[in-house]
């Protein structure tokens, strides 16, 4: 038993995974595992094994397994992608130009698109029999007053939307009056003190109103 005592003293200060042997004397021995061989018990440790009489052992208890704390991976470098540049006005579609101008002049996007659709069917090179030019069908004199080149789609849409905004302000937000003035001119609205009785203008107003208000 002397060899057992020396082994016990050598390992009592260490912590092992495996199980504990509870001796009838009250002592505890940490081992890796054990095997029964008749009236003997083999107690295995990393250095080998020892044999003891089974009657000297009270019980075996599994050691509590302390889970290994996983090592956190290195932090992921978060790279903020550069903001997607807004498309250049020169590369915008007519619809995008309408939306940008609507936002600039605080008008509903759908209204500006509806007016553009009625005026030019979104064709930047459209020219009317009366000489109106471009997406918003600006007359040369009107474009000159607004300081815009009517042949430049960006300037055309910006000026036409600004003109619509100014007409809405002029007529206290009355959409039909503003549309009538856009189509037939403010002089006609003043002359008739409201919507002029022009078939073309009335159809124009209805067309834009329907496109603007439909779901």
Predicted pLDDT of residue 104: 95
- Indicate whether 113 pLDDT > 70: yes
Indicate left, alpha or beta for 36 from its phi (over 0: left) and psi (-120 to 50: alpha): beta
- Domain hosting residue 18, numbered range: 2-62
Residue 24's pLDDT band, with cuts at 50, 70 and 90, is: confident
The kind and range of the H/E element at 37 are strand 33-37
119 is catalytic: yes
Same domain, 205 and 100: yes
Q: What is the CATH classification number for the domain harbouring 157?
A: 1.10.530.10
**Which ranges of 121-196 would DSSP assign to H, the alpha helix?**
140-145, 153-170, 175-184, 186-192
Long-range contacts of 184-187, Cβ-Cβ distance < 8 Å, separation of 24 or more: none
Which of residues 45, 62, 79 is at a domain's end?
Answer: 62
Catalytic site residue from 51, 119, 190, 200: 119
How many C-beta atoms surround the C-beta of residue 31 within 10 A?
Answer: 21
Report yes or no: 112 and 212 within 8 Å, Cβ to Cβ.
no
Total domains, the chain: 2
Strand partners, 59: 22
pTM for the whole structure: 0.60
Residue 71 lies in a domain: no
Asked, for residue 111, whether it belongs to a domain, the answer is: yes
pLDDT of residue 6: 34
């Amino acid at each position: 038993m002397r060899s057992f005592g020396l082994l016990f003293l050598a390992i009592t200060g260490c912590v092992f995974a495996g199980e504990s042997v509870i001796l009838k004397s009250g002592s505890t021995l940490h081992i890796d595992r054990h095997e029964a061989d008749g009236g003997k018990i083999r107690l295995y440790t990393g250095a080998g094994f020892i044999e003891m009489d089974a009657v000297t052992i009270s019980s075996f208890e599994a050691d509590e397994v302390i889970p290994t704390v996983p090592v956190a991976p290195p932090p992921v470098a978060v790279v903020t992608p550069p903001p997607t540049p807004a498309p250049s006005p020169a590369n915008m579609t007519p619809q995008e130009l309408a939306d940008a101008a609507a936002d600039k002049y605080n008008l509903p996007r759908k209204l500006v698109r509806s007016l553009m659709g009625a005026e030019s069917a979104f064709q930047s090179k459209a020219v009317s029999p009366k000489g109106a030019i471009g997406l918003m069908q600006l007359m040369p004199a009107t474009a000159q007053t607004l300081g815009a080149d009517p042949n430049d789609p960006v300037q055309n849409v910006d000026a036409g939307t600004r003109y619509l905004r100014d007409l809405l302000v002029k007529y206290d937000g009355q959409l039909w009056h503003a549309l009538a003035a856009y189509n037939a001119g403010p002089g006609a609205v003043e002359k008739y003190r409201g919507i002029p009785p022009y078939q073309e203008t009335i159809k124009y107003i209805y067309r834009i109103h329907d496109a603007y208000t439909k779901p």
